[in-house]
Amino acid sequence: MAATDLLRSGLERFGRRDQQIARYFIDHAEEIPFLSAGEIAETLGVSGAAITRFAQRVGYEGYPHLQRVIRHDLRATLGMKQPGGRDSVVARFWASERGNLETLQDLPEATLLAFARAIARAKQVWVVGARSSYGISLLAETILSSFRPGVRAYASDLLLSRPEQLLDATPDDVVIVFTLRRYSRATTRMIRALHAQGVQVLLITDQGASPLSKIAHQSLHLPTQGTDVLASLAPFVSVCTLLASLVAQELEGGHLKQAETLNAEFAVYEY
């Protein structure tokens, strides 16, 4: 039985304080792998020892043990799934994509404009992602570079292996970070490091509980309903394209004309 199911089944037997703690674990299961006992205790207004004793009362060695079990449960449910039957894979795929794109229309225009202004005004734009999110980072770098200089994509794990690159970061910079469950530990570490140096964090993530939500200056949560096997990346592509258009508007075209002149001069394209 999953740890949260175990806690849910015992709610009626728990005392008032244990019910409060158990409900927090149930309602915030996706955040637990990234929270210390002290952080949970502070949120609930109890002592760190109360969190430890609760974990022991429900059958675990302590909070770290319960945290590990919850992390394991999440990995089992949030990883890639085995494909189902063939019959309606195509129909389900297009139905989910339509649903995602319709949901995107509910994103507040003011939030999108604030993202674009932050990107347009930054000295440097760091674009960070891991695994499939890194592919989105490369796309964002490509289209944003058409309108402004100083945009560079970084793979989280490679950036983590060369932390001296953080010396280039300034409070005048922004970092656009893409996260998708399962959230990359390398991404979390690097974005926290950039945040500590005063870099403005623009988070574009799925509808889960990203560990970076608490430190992000601005956030966009995108629908990622996909097929039986994979989450959809289409909403990320659409939002990147829209943000690039808004940045271009903010910059009144930016250096697009000069960039196109250079493309022609160096015969970058066949036609």
pLDDT of residue 85: 56
Distance CA 171, CA 199 (A): 5
Distance CA 21, CA 18 (A): 5
Q: Do 156 and 74 reside in the same domain of the chain?
A: no
Q: Do 23 and 104 reside in the same domain of the chain?
A: no
pLDDT of residue 150: 96
Question: Strand, coil or helix: what is 42?
Answer: helix
Q: Do 12 and 145 reside in the same domain of the chain?
A: no
Residue type for position 242 = L
Tokens read off for 245: 């258009």
CATH of the domain at 164: 3.40.50.10490
pLDDT of residue 186: 92
* Residue 180 within any structural domain of the chain: yes
Q: Do 123 and 42 reside in the same domain of the chain?
A: no
pLDDT of residue 183: 87
**How far from each other are the two terminal CA atoms of the chain, in whole angstroms?**
61
Residue type for position 41 = A
Q: Do 116 and 35 reside in the same domain of the chain?
A: no
Residue 209, C-beta contacts closer than 8 angstroms, at least 6 positions apart: 28, 30, 31
Give the domain-ending residue among 78, 111, 135: 78
CATH of the domain at 13: 1.10.10.10
pLDDT of residue 172: 98
Q: Do 128 and 53 reside in the same domain of the chain?
A: no
**Element containing residue 62 per DSSP (H, E):** none
Q: Do 66 and 107 reside in the same domain of the chain?
A: no
SS (H, E, C) 115-144: HHHHHHHCCCEEEEECCHHHHHHHHHHHHH
- Whole-angstrom CA distances from 30 to 4, 90, 175 are 11, 30, 24
Range of the domain at 156: 99-265
Q: Do 40 and 140 reside in the same domain of the chain?
A: no
* Residue 88 within any structural domain of the chain: no
Q: What is the pLDDT along the chain (271 residues), one digit of tens a residue?
A: 789 989 989 888 999 999 999 999 998 887 888 889 999 999 999 999 999 999 999 999 999 999 999 988 887 765 555 555 555 777 778 888 888 889 899 999 999 999 999 999 999 999 999 988 999 999 999 999 999 999 999 999 999 999 999 999 999 999 999 998 878 889 999 999 999 999 999 999 998 778 898 899 999 999 988 765 678 899 999 999 999 999 999 999 888 888 888 878 888 777 6
Give the domain-ending residue among 49, 78, 107: 78
* Residue 103 within any structural domain of the chain: yes
Q: Do 159 and 44 reside in the same domain of the chain?
A: no
pLDDT of residue 1: 76
Q: Do 129 and 254 reside in the same domain of the chain?
A: yes
* Residue 94 within any structural domain of the chain: no
Give the domain-ending residue among 26, 46, 78: 78
* Residue 122 within any structural domain of the chain: yes
Q: Which of 166, 127, 122 is nearest to 143 (CA)?
A: 127
* Residue 85 within any structural domain of the chain: no
Q: Do 123 and 249 reside in the same domain of the chain?
A: yes
Distance CA 183, CA 33 (A): 10
* Residue 90 within any structural domain of the chain: no
Cβ pair 117, 250 in contact under 8 A: yes
* Residue 238 within any structural domain of the chain: yes
pLDDT of residue 136: 96
Phi then psi dihedrals of residue 139, to 5 deg: -60, -45
**Dihedral of the alpha carbons of 50, 53, 54, 59, in degrees to the nearest 10:** 170
Per residue in 120-133, pLDDT (tens digit) is 999 999 999 998 89
Q: How many domains does the chain have?
A: 2
Q: Do 119 and 237 reside in the same domain of the chain?
A: yes
